[in-house]
Amino acid sequence: MQLQVLGTAAGGGIPQWNCACPGCAGARARPHLRRRHASLAVRAAEGRWYLVNATPDLGDQVEDCPALHPGPAARQTPLAGVVLTDAELDHTLGIARLREADDLQIVATAPVRGALLDQLRLGAVLAPYTTVRWRDLTPDPQPLDAEAESDLEISAVPLSAKRPRYAVGTGPDADTWVVALRLHDRTNHTTAVYAPALGVWPDALQEAVDEADCVIIDGTFWDEDEPIRTGISQRTATGMGHLPIDGPDGTARRLAPLAARCLYTHLNNTNPLVDPEAPQHKQLAEWNLEVAADKTVIEL
């Protein structure tokens, strides 16, 4: 299994266009600290890749990943489809940038598909440009790429019924609005779990990470009070739909005992971890945890 980290920032990226907080100002002054929106590329088979979430940075992310470059034919692309973990704008706006494709495969849960078709009217928008083929993402394992007879299986780990703001009050009240993605390689029996948005920790997620070789997980906020303390919200981290890293109910306490390699992604610009010199990195290292970097390649 080969995974390519395309981005590791929460909504808005780092720097965010309208923000001069220390994290954003630091990234403007030191461009190597910039982070693109959280996304992942997964190799399904030779010359065939899937994006996990399609961000507003999609074009630049493809250019930064040589494995995703087109060729040798003029319009030949290795990008075979997109898998969505939720319907949030920072995970779906990039779909519109794929309209030049001859056809487009999107793998999503039923509530996410409904939000994109009914609220964002994505089907009607894309129909004049390309053919969109939808596949259901369910808790039952299925081949990531049936056309290529891929040995890589995907399945959803239902997390919560948190809807994006544009879909509040719509669709079913189901815990498949937000899911973690479980990737399992039947060839070498390795497993990865990707959960960029995590507001609760259900038993099914614990079972998935217990069996995983690699876990890439929501690191939006360092602690519970960070959004209030930094002035970006009147809600706590959990109130905004993201479990914090540190604290008695933080995800670090659950990840530290695992045998898997564990990396944080989806960092908000207020998170002290966006500064590589922040002391919180030392604390993570003591827990045997790390922060994913854009362009990281993971082989399992």
pLDDT 10s digits, 67-123: 999 999 999 999 999 999 999 999 999 999 999 999 999 999 999 999 999 999 999
Residue 261 is classified by DSSP as E
Give me the domains of the chain, ranges plus CATH numbers: 2-299 (3.60.15.10)
Question: Using one digit for the tens of pLDDT, what is the confidence trace for 17-65?
Answer: 999 999 999 999 999 999 999 999 999 999 999 999 999 999 999 999 9
pTM of the predicted protein model: 0.97
Cα(226)–Cα(283) distance, integer angstroms: 17
Q: What is the pLDDT of residue 225?
A: 97
Integer Rg of the chain from CA: 18
State both tokens at 264: 């944080």
Q: What is the pLDDT of residue 146?
A: 82
Cα(273)–Cα(162) distance, integer angstroms: 25
Q: At residue 92, what is the residue type? A: T
